[in-house]
Amino acid sequence: MRGVTVWIFTFISLILNESLAVYYYYIEHPIDLSHPIDENTIFSDSSETVRVSTLAKTKIYTQYIVYQEQCLPEHGSTHVDAPRHFNKNGWTISDIPLYLLMVEGVHIDVSAEVNNNENFILQPHHLINWERKHGSLPNPCIMLINFGWSWRYKQRVLYTNERDGIRYFPGLSKEAALWIVHTGKVVGIGVDTMSIDPGNSTSFDAHRILSHFNIYSIESINYPNAKSKYQRKFDARFEHIPTLPPRGFNLYVLPTNFIDGTGAPARVVATSNLHTCNGTPSISYMFNIVLTMCILFQKIIKTIV
């Protein structure tokens, strides 16, 4: 009888654990992780700007029509760095396979450790600790690093953090870039700073290493709730801001398809992954439950007999 009780409690615990795993990371609405492009857009070269001009404004058969011309560099706002940016034999923007731009994402939030430290460098142990807490990386995946920097974007001086011609902001170490490559799972890496390398880097190790393996970068990610965890208790405006979970979401990275482009502005959107559908368990989830029930039922029968 004791054996039956053990199996019953095992079954209940499996159901509860699986349910929590499915629903805890459910994203109710898509989350836009992109900064808009306007006259305040920040580019890698501080002298570059967006130029917008109206080419024509007219009426045709009583219909209002307007044409505009927008000129902007490749590397500004939320954008993708193609491997060609630092690897002459790497993929250009148009070379990146579409299926590698629409994969599962992981969110590695080190903002509490950064705590606005402009000299913070991401090390392999930060990534290893994340895996210990949240499980191994999906394969393939896009890795998003949250340095807690995106809230500065609306204030150019704070975001670029430039002094005497040198910028200061967090980035990846050479060792972290090598760790990412060695996983064999990461197809893209995203950061909420201007570069995946530290702001004062002159060797650009992370760029060089990742681009050598055709791993693209997404720079200037916009985390809409970047300051909410500090202000939520005191400011009602942050109460309903969506939060990006550590995992359990899909990413859609949609750069402008420039032929031979080394980079391109991109719309980056996170949505709930396929474990759930409109808030209800998916077919695969239900199948796992039924299969678990059958296995446990068989063991219970053997225990009784």
Query: Rounded mean pLDDT of 273-292?
Result: 53
| pLDDT tens-digit series, residues 104-134 | 999 999 999 999 999 999 999 999 999 999 9
**Residue 246: is its pLDDT beyond 50?**
yes
- CATH number given to 27-272: 3.50.30.50
Alpha helices in the chain (DSSP H): 2-24, 111-114, 124-134, 156-160, 174-183, 205-212, 228-231, 283-304
Strands (E), the chain: 31-32, 51-60, 63-71, 79-81, 102-109, 121-122, 141-146, 162-163, 166-167, 171-172, 186-191, 216-219, 249-255, 263-272, 276-277, 280-281
Quick one: pLDDT band at residue 294, thresholds 50, 70, 90?
Answer: confident
Quick one: pLDDT band at residue 64, thresholds 50, 70, 90?
Answer: confident
Q: Are 31 and 270 in contact (CB under 8 A)?
A: yes
| pLDDT tens-digit series, residues 151-206 | 999 899 999 999 999 999 999 999 999 999 999 999 999 999 999 999 999 999 99
Q: Is 60 helix (H, G, I), strand (E, B) or coil?
A: strand
Distances (CA, A) of 13 to 6, 16, 18, 43, 68: 11, 5, 8, 51, 59
Degrees, nearest 5: CA angle 34-40-45: 90
Residue indicated by tokens 């916009």: 222
Mean model confidence pLDDT for the chain: 82
Choice among 19-28, 58-67, 192-201 with the minimum mean pLDDT: 19-28
Quick one: pLDDT band at residue 232, thresholds 50, 70, 90?
Answer: very low
Domain edges within the chain: 1-19+281-304, 27-272
| pLDDT tens-digit series, residues 25-56 | 556 688 999 999 888 888 877 666 777 666 66
pTM of the model: 0.77
For residue 112, what are its two tokens?
Answer: 């509490």
Cα Rg, the chain, nearest whole Å:
23
